[in-house]
Amino acid sequence: MTNRYAERLALCFSAVFPDRSREEILSASRASIKEWDSLASVTLLALIQHEFHADIDLFDLEDLESFQKLVDYLERQAATKGGDANRG
Residues 35-54 close enough to bind another protein by CB under 8 A: 38-39, 42-43, 46-47, 50-51
Residue 1 near another protein by CB under 8 A: no
Residue 3's Cβ-count burial label (10 Å; 0-12, 13-18, 19+) is: exposed
In whole angstroms, how close is the CB of 16 to another protein at the nearest point?
7
Q: Which residues bind another protein (CB under 8 A)?
A: 11-12, 14-16, 18, 38-39, 42-43, 46-47, 50-51, 58
